[in-house]
Amino acid sequence: MNINYFEKERVFKLDTKNTSYLIGVVDQENFPGHIYYGKKIEDHDVQYLLRIDEPPFVPTKNNRDRSSFYDCFPAEYTTNGVGDFRDSSISVKTKAGHVGVQLSVISHKIYKGKPALEGLPATFAKEGECSTLELTLLDQTLGLEVILIYSAFTDVDVIARSVQIKNTGSEEIVLTKVMSVCMDMDNLDFDIITLHGSWARERHIQRRTLGLGKQSVGSTRGESSHQEHPFMALLNKNTTQDTGDIYGFHFVYSGNFLAQAEVSQFDSVRCMMGIHPADFSWKLEVGEIFIAPEVVMVYSADGIGGMSRNYHDLYRNHLIRGEYKDKKRPILINNWEATYFKFDTDKLLSIATEASKLGIEMLVMDDGWFGNRNDDNTALGDWTVNEEKIKGGLKYLVDEVNKIGMKFGIWFEPEMISPDSELYRKHPCWAIAIPGRTPTLCRNQYVLDLTRREVLEYVYESIAGVLRSANIEYVKWDMNRQLTDIGGFSTEPERMGELYHRYMLAVYELQERLITEFPHLLLENCSGGGARFDPGMLYYSPQIWCSDDTDAIERLSIQEGTAMIYPLSSMGAHVSDCPNHTVGRVTPFQTRGHVALSGTFGYELDVTKIPQEDRDMIPEQVEMYHKYNDLIRTGDYYRIASYQENKQFDCTQVVAKDKSEALITFVQVLNRPNFHSRRICLKGLDPDRNYKIQGSEKILKGSTLMNAGINMENPWGDFGSRLIYVTGC
């Protein structure tokens, strides 16, 4: 077993392939302390690292300074309101209005495998791939049990953590804060990486010095958000892409979150991640359990890239499910940027006919096919086919597309309701709103209160009904606004703080039902582009639309931040028309293809209208996709250079797991006059193996390609790109 308890030392040791994580139980009151997380170590007798023999000492030695002990003890899960003045992991409100929590370890369980988290997305593993420690803590006064769950994987350097809170007392308790992770460690001269953005520029990387005090990212928008991402990494100042220590924390959740690193007066750092406490509360009746979502932690000594590859393997093997988990996805063409709301059966069939000739495999009908939706002001909620546009009905259209030899996919925005819709006229109180107050519009729509059973059932049956009516093989599940005006017509007043989380549980329930009833469906989540690109959604859909920004150059930074933690197989990426609809930039069709190839690959343009020379390139791009997608989907990802950092060019590489082949994608942004080729050093190859560079007669050793490199010729013109393919021989 890769988790062990050493009774004499009172230490739990969790090992992954290359890392160790140690927890100590301290003093008579069994305080749970964090001893170590990092490179694998052999010894377990390292309680001394907890500094319990230094002032202020443990309470049995120095009870007069108990508060000082709480305030510096490196905790695995913290007290609240009794003397640790750093941010707490948990907070409550008792019937009498008290908030104090004081936790001691009372028992533990260690077993093979990993438990599922009821109603929540979570990583999974077979018995041999993972062991789990359940550490039960108790607040005796409250009768509140806190079960810390740690699963240590053996095939990836990942420890997954979650928390369950049980009311074993005699009266109700309201939880007002529940973090899924708390981990205190020494500040090893850390930087912090977080991801930031906006609509059309999601997940840009920010690296900065971790200073004293609290540094946090979060969302209170009811979605993981365009703006900040449920991820943070702490890394040494000198950590690079390829070397140095890095600790990653990623939340397997799609709603409100808080990720925080707090550097204390003693230069220790408290890392916390969980549901955002703002406007959160959860009433726990006697005997009830609250299950907090999971955080997946990676430690790597191989720099940012080492962390990336661990997350990629974790998500590919232990989070993504279903038929397309390990399968190449059909190349799709989506009509959104091609037609927006102006389309009908004939238009769609003309796109499908032309696309199919070029090798494209699936037509996706985007927004505008239902109710009277001819712009984005109406009809969300009215999921009946608009037969004025879809003449002959949906089944006819799908059958015709199938006859052309293509699959068919469809767009929904199931969670929404337009004030101008049949549904709203019938059920105005189905929208989330504070009774008596006009709710805030966003894209002229409201959010449905999915926490109400009848609303959830209506939504499910509307979508499932459409899917049952024709051979639909793909769904794009969109979500185009944040939650506001948190209120409900049926929610009990004292449970209002539960609405955000209950909403997420309802979304997860809907998606779980959908993929259970339609196991062959390819589901792609989307949220105004990438506002809900998170590990939570990845549990239900193997791919997520990365961003509404399809410009090849804007995509470099978006895809860099995304690929830092997500496998390329999950990044929805399409070739679109120019001038680009978001930024007006004109880039070569070839570059658009190369950049989209690093993701799921597809098209988002009117193939009947684009210039002939672009159309002529599509069969070549399709061929490239079929040639390289297995490698891109399953290989190890390396970042060679970042345009965001160097402001000149971008370069990434994917290497097959067996190191038999590699693909390098190079994008020169602005061209430079009077400039020679650029030296690029490859990564991740077998140093002793010979490799052949496609298109050249040269055979070179892996060590030569990695240490001395190759000369990358400068593509002509701005925004040029190249692919270099090397194969072992």
Report the interface residues with ligand GLA, using CB under 6 A. Answer: 336, 366-367, 376, 411, 478, 480, 526, 528-529, 545, 548
Cα dist. 678→145, 595, 645, 672, 699 in Å?
60, 19, 16, 11, 20
Question: Is 627 in a helix, a strand, or coil?
Answer: helix
Residue 200 beta carbon to ligand GLA: minimum distance, rounded to whole angstroms: 10
For residues 244 and 707, give the distance between their C-alpha atoms in angstroms, rounded to a whole number: 19
Name the residue nearer to ligand GLA (CB basis): 58 or 459. 459
CA-CA-CA-CA torsion for 59, 62, 68, 72, nearest 10 degrees?
-60
Minimum distance, C-beta of residue 531 to ligand GLA, in the bound complex (Å): 9
For ligand GLA, give the closer residue by CB, 184 or 478.
478
Q: Of the two residues 411 and 638, which places its CB atom closer to ligand GLA in the complex?
A: 411
Half-sphere CA count of 636, side-chain side, radius 13 A: 20
For 301-318, what is the HEC assignment?
CEHHHHHHHHHHHHHHHH
Decide: 444 and 419 in contact? Cβ < 8 Å: yes
Cα–Cα distance list, 527 to 272, 498, 547, 572, 595 (Å):
26, 22, 9, 12, 21
* Local structure of 101: helix, strand or coil: strand
Q: Which is nearer to ligand GLA, 137 or 546 (CB)?
A: 546
Question: Which residue in 548, 551, 577, 606 is the catalytic one?
Answer: 548
The structure tokens listed for 723 are 């692919």
Of residues 430, 392, 398, the one with CA closest to residue 414: 430
Three-state DSSP at 461 gives helix
Q: Which residue is nearest to ligand GLA (CB)?
A: 367
From the CB of 366, what's the least distance to ligand GLA, in Å? 5
Nearer to ligand GLA, 182 or 538 (CB): 538
Q: Phi, psi (5° rounding) for residue 348?
A: -65, -40
User: 120 or 416: whose CB is closer to ligand GLA?
Assistant: 416
What lies within 8 Å, CB to CB, of 352 at 6+ separation is 333, 363, 400, 401, 404, 406
Question: Tokens standing for 570?
Answer: 């999950």
If we measure between CA atoms, which residue out of 191, 198, 203 comes closest to residue 250? 203
Element (DSSP H or E) covering residue 180: strand 173-186
How far apart are alpha carbons 540 and 23 in whole angstroms? 33
Rg of the Cα atoms in the chain: 27
- Write down the least CB distance from residue 530 to ligand GLA, Å: 8
Is 529 exposed, middle or buried (CB count within 10 Å of its CB: 0-12, 13-18, 19+)?
Answer: buried
CB of 455 to ligand GLA, least distance (A): 21
Q: How far is the CB of 686 from ligand GLA (least distance, A)?
A: 41
Is 410 or 459 the residue whose CB approaches ligand GLA more closely? Answer: 410
Alpha-carbon gap, residue 154 to 131, rounded angstroms: 8
Give the number of other Cβ atoms within 10 Å of residue 99's Cβ. Answer: 16
Write out the two tokens for 180.
Answer: 């899924």
Strands 416-417 and 446-447: antiparallel
Q: Which residue has the tokens 């890769």?
A: 2
Q: Is 478 a catalytic residue?
A: yes
Between 178 and 526, CB nearer to ligand GLA? 526
| Comparison of 354 and 413: residue with beta carbon closer to ligand GLA | 413
- Is 548 a catalytic site residue? yes
Q: Give the integer Cα–Cα distance in Å for 542 and 519.
A: 13
Using alpha carbons, list the distances in angstroms from residue 298 to 193, 307, 609: 14, 6, 47
716: β partners: none
β partners of residue 36: 22
AA identity, residue 198: S
Q: Minimum CB separation from ligand GLA for residue 478, in Å?
A: 5
From 87, 245, 478, 636, the catalytic residue: 478
d(CA 591, CA 589): 6
The answer to whether residues 246 and 235 touch, using CB atoms and an 8 Å cutoff, is yes
Strands (E), 443-577: 446-447, 474-477, 522-525, 543-545, 571-572, 575-576
Q: Work out the burial of residue 388: count CB atoms within 10 Å of its CB; fewer than 13 is exposed, 13-18 middle, 19 or more buried.
A: exposed
By beta-carbon proximity to ligand GLA, the closer residue of 153 and 601 is: 601
Whose Cβ is closer to ligand GLA: residue 336's or residue 719's?
336
Residues serving a catalytic function are 478, 548
